[in-house]
């Protein structure tokens, strides 16, 4: 199994890059695990308490479960990947059966911050987009897809997202094997990653 970790700040385009990679590759050969599925279960909290969580700090992630699931997949076992709701700020209680594939992609803002998980990646990719570009994309996406308003996005950006990005996410570039500049759609870089994956699949 080839395990590829794709990190980068919110709105840099990780999900888009993953979809571009999956597009045109043989169906069923590449699996995806999203770090978002592993936000800690907060069912014991009220909605008002959950909104106050710092979702950009590594402690918000259940890295133990994520690491265990990746190990299970490596050992040929199917896992139940939790489904996360950004609208409710919590797991939904549903899971998605995720079966081991020749290539597994793990994507998320904080996946390179956890040394044990980081060591499991054969290839580490960091997707870079400038912070103003990321904020614009996040504003548009979170308002249209995640039920936020402009005040929520901007105050979260100033209070947690920006400082957490500077403290935890940006320094992870140091560990990256490949940095994809993604202020604009970068088909050349995506094609290079696809070529690497295709070699593994042959």
Ligand X SMILES: O=c1ccn([C@@H]2O[C@H](COP(=O)(O)O)[C@@H](O)[C@H]2O)c(=O)[nH]1
Which positions touch ligand X (CB under 6 A)?
Answer: 10-11, 14, 36, 39, 55-56, 86, 89, 109, 161
89 binds, among ligand X, ligand ADP, none (CB under 5 to 8 A by kind): ligand X
101 binds, among ligand X, ligand ADP, none (CB under 5 to 8 A by kind): none
Judged by beta carbon, residue 68 or residue 183, the one nearer ligand ADP is: 183
CB of 199: closest distance to ligand ADP in angstroms?
A: 25
| Interatomic CA distance for residues 59 and 51, integer angstroms | 15
Judged by beta carbon, residue 9 or residue 31, the one nearer ligand X is: 9
20 binds, among ligand X, ligand ADP, none (CB under 5 to 8 A by kind): none
Q: Provide the edge-to-edge strand list for the sheet that holds 30-34.
A: 30-34, 103-107, 2-7, 123-128, 178-181
182 binds, among ligand ADP, ligand X, none (CB under 5 to 8 A by kind): ligand ADP
Token output for 199: 């070699």
Q: Taken in order 134, 96, 168, 159, is the CA torsion positive or negative?
A: positive
Q: List CB contacts of 5: < 8 A, sequence separation 6 or more.
A: 105, 106, 107, 111, 112, 117, 118, 121, 123, 124, 125
Judged by beta carbon, residue 18 or residue 70, the one nearer ligand X is: 18
Interacting residues toward ligand ADP by CB under 6 A = 8, 10-16, 137, 141, 182, 184-185
Judged by beta carbon, residue 81 or residue 182, the one nearer ligand ADP is: 182
Backbone torsions φ then ψ of 80, nearest 5 degrees: -105, 100
Backbone torsions φ then ψ of 38, nearest 5 degrees: -110, 15
Name the residue whose CB lies closest to ligand ADP.
13
16 binds, among ligand ADP, ligand X, none (CB under 5 to 8 A by kind): ligand ADP
Judged by beta carbon, residue 117 or residue 189, the one nearer ligand ADP is: 189
Look at residue 122 and give its three-state secondary structure: coil
Backbone torsions φ then ψ of 151, nearest 5 degrees: -65, -40
């Amino acid at each position: 199994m080839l395990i590829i970790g794709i990190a980068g700040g919110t709105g840099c385009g990780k999900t888009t890059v993953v979809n571009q990679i999956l597009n045109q590759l043989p169906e069923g050969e590449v699996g995806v695990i999203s770090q978002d599925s592993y936000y800690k279960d907060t069912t014991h909290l009220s909605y008002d308490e959950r909104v106050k969580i710092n979702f950009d700090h590594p402690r918000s992630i259940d890295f133990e479960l994520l690491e265990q699931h990746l190990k299970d997949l490596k050992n040929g076992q199917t896992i139940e990947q939790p489904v996360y709701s950004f609208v409710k700020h919590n797991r939904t209680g549903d899971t998605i059966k995720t079966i081991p594939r020749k290539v597994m992609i793990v994507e998320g803002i904080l996946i390179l911050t956890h040394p044990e998980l980081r060591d499991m990646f054969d290839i580490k990719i960091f997707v870079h987009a400038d912070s103003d570009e990321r904020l614009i994309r996040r504003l548009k996406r979170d308002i249209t897809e995640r039920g936020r308003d402009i005040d929520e996005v901007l105050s979260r950006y100033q209070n947690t997202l920006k400082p957490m990005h500077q403290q935890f996410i940006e320094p992870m570039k140091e560990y990256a094997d490949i940095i994809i500049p993604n202020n604009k759609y970068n088909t050349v870089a995506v094609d290079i990653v696809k070529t690497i994956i295709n070699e593994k699949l042959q």
